[in-house]
Chains A and B, each alone.
Chain A
Amino acid sequence: MQELVNHAKELLTSGSVARVLGWKTGDLPYNPEPAYFDSAEALEEFVYNGFCGANLSKYMIEASKLEGKTLIFLKPCDTYSFNQLLKEHRIDRDKAWIVGVGCHGKLDAEQIRCQGIKGIEAVTEAGAQLQIQTFYGDRTIDYSSALLERCHVCKGKEHQIYDELIGESEETNDEERFSQVAGIEQLNPEEKFAFFQKELSKCIRCNACRNVCPACSCRKCVFDSNKFDSAQKANVDSFEEKMFHIIRAFHVAGRCTDCGECSRVCPQGIPLHLFNRKFIKDIDELYGEFKAGEDAEAKGPLTDFTFDDAEPGIVAERG
């Protein structure tokens, strides 16, 4: 981490960048926040650790409007989102100086709590272990048991876009990416419906999933429109949540890089990635493998077609 700070200080003082977009030490062991640093002094508060899961790409939209270059730290998977935003002309490549940082999987405080750990005082990363000091005794758990969902299906350790790289990365995938989706596909309609009903009825319509999503960068969201009653905000178990989540997933289909931010931020722990990943799986199967954000040029699958695409009836034929 010190290497990152030193390098950032260098670039700041030399004037090659006007500000640094990174993570700032939180007031608890696990809550660093995304932050802008504009002086070497401010960088004293910079932190990069296992809890820096936040994908900073989306902040680049605002940073692109500012004067001067912004140094942005991106983890390998964040670079997919960056590329995608670049493709959609939402950010300015010339305004960014990308430092690719090493990553060996990011942690989720929720996953720690799930293991019955309460009152976290301090967390120490010790190789494959996490030493956790709490007000109710100390615990040691496997690092991998506290990973964010997205890290279990890690997209790889390669940065897709960067100006320079600092630090080593490590692939952390220990699960088949589409296994959860495939599992649900195997269920019968009643079971599928019951599963999603139970998950979605927790939704509180806080819009955190939408606002954090690097693909959701519309200036005015259809769900914020007062012009028609899609902006209902009603919390009813019957339909609202389904509408919101289906349409949201659809709007990012073919553009979603599966960065997993939606699932990370959901206060109710709804596995929102299951929607996005279903679309990705279908696109891969029907229109050929496509990885959004792998580059900043390729045409997205929903803005493209071939003459012999499958007919919609295929859904029924597949069974």
Chain B
Amino acid sequence: MSIEAKTEFKPKIVAFCCNWCSYAGADLAGSSRLGYPADVKIIRVPCSCRVNPMFILRAFEKGADGVILCGCHPGDCHYSTGNYYARRRMTLLFSMLDYLGVEQGRTRVEWVSAAEGMKFSATMNEFVEKIYSLGENVRLGDLRCRN
């Protein structure tokens, strides 16, 4: 199942954004008219720490080609330490996915503050481009969802 076989590859990308920083960052990107690809679907979460590994796997299962998690910069967490825990968890999870043979680059963590509309837009553009280059996610999807 290569990209060539498909007429056009439209990636599905899930972005988990923390309510306090990154979601506001996305908002700012929007109100500043900084574009980011429509392939990105944002899911707002109370804190980056709310995202458990199952969320990420679930997104892949149901057909996501890339998953990105955005939270407050370390030190700026609304709940003071949430993103520090998230950082450890995601590091371990990404390492495990790499170990299982899932292409690097399908997952990413980026810290985006409420003031960084520019960064948000740039990150998303970059990430989408990366996913385009990796092509469809075949290793972590459920075959039943592919029709």
Contacts and interface: CB of A to CB of B under 8 A. Distances in A.
Q: Are A and B bound to each other?
A: yes
Interface of A: 181, 184-185, 187, 189-196, 222, 230, 236-240, 242-243, 246-247, 249-250, 253, 275, 278-279, 282-283, 286-287, 301-303, 305-307, 309-316
A301 B92 CA distance: 11
B142 interface: yes
A41 to B, nearest CB: 50
B109 A312 contact: yes
Contacts of B93: 246, 250
B101 A189 contact: yes
B55 to A, nearest CB: 11
Interface stretch (B3-11, B21-29, B80-88): B80-88
Contacts of A242: 57, 100, 140
A249 B88 CA distance: 15
Contact of A185 (B58, B89, B99, B105): B99
Interface of B: 53-54, 57-58, 61, 74-75, 81, 84-85, 87-105, 107-109, 139-144
A309 B101 contact: no
A193 B139 contact: yes
A283 B101 contact: no
A279 B101 contact: no
A221 B90 CA distance: 22
Nearest to B141: A239
B53 A316 contact: no
B91 A309 contact: yes
B91 A314 contact: yes
A193 B101 contact: yes
B96 A279 contact: yes
Find the residue from A222, A230, A316 having the highest chain B CB count within 10 A.
A316
A305 B101 contact: no
Given A247-B57, A278-B96, A279-B96, A236 B88 contact: no
Contacts of A194: 101
Nearest to A189: B101
A312 B101 contact: no
B143 A315 contact: no
A253 B57 CA distance: 17
Nearest to A306: B84
A187 B98 CA distance: 11
A236 B46 CA distance: 34
A193 B102 contact: yes
B63 to A, nearest CB: 11
